[in-house]
Amino acid sequence: MATWQIRSWLSQTLRKVATSSLHSAPDSAAAALSLIRSQPSQYVIASVVGRKYILTPRDILTVPRLKDVCVGDVLHLRDLHEIGTREYTLRGDPLPRNHIKVEATVIEQTKGKMEVVFKKKRRKGYQKTIKNKHPYTRLRIGPIQFTNLPLSS
């Protein structure tokens, strides 16, 4: 055999090994969630204030100011796009809400750093300095809870 044939055969064999999965694909979303639940650390991709964030338990998330919340309030994250671990991922728009529960606690209402904007019109003598601090809300992400999972048989 020529060297190019050996390389071709070797690359095909390696491709087959690399694409063959060690884990079988689950039959339903509930089965996938039970596999994800069995893993040590999970993450979730959720929309908060119109932006998607990758969240894990105990994360601190800074978002633009939420007006109707106070420090200590608990928010339930409803727009979940993906949940997963290192080995398993479940994507969906939306994910089944009755099986996954993620909460965020408001820990702080704060302001960002001082931003200074200087405006000037040439040859007119017009100068204006605008100072602004943007308000932010800080959230602590709670544990990812799995509820109402059917028993796997």
Please compute the mean of the pLDDT values over residues 95-119 and round it to a whole number.
Answer: 92
Q: State the pLDDT confidence band at 153, using cuts at 50, 70 and 90.
A: very low
- Using alpha carbons only, what angle is made at residue 44 by residues 71 and 82, rounded to the nearest 5 degrees? 135
pLDDT tens, residue by residue, 85-105: 988 888 886 677 778 899 999
- CA 52 vs. chain centroid, Å, equals 6
Give CA–CA dist 108/62, Å, rounded. Answer: 9
- The answer to whether residue 79 scores a pLDDT higher than 80 is yes
Total Cβ atoms within 10 A of residue 146: 16
pLDDT tens, residue by residue, 120-148: 999 999 999 999 999 999 999 999 998 86
Strand 135-146 and strand 60-64: the pairing is: antiparallel
Encoded tokens for 4? 């190019």
Query: Percent of the chain at pLDDT above 70?
Result: 86
Give CA–CA dist 152/140, Å, rounded. Answer: 32
Give CA–CA dist 135/21, Å, rounded. Answer: 47
Q: State the pLDDT confidence band at 149, using cuts at 50, 70 and 90.
A: low
pTM over 0.75: no
Residues 140, 107 contacting (CB under 8 angstroms): yes
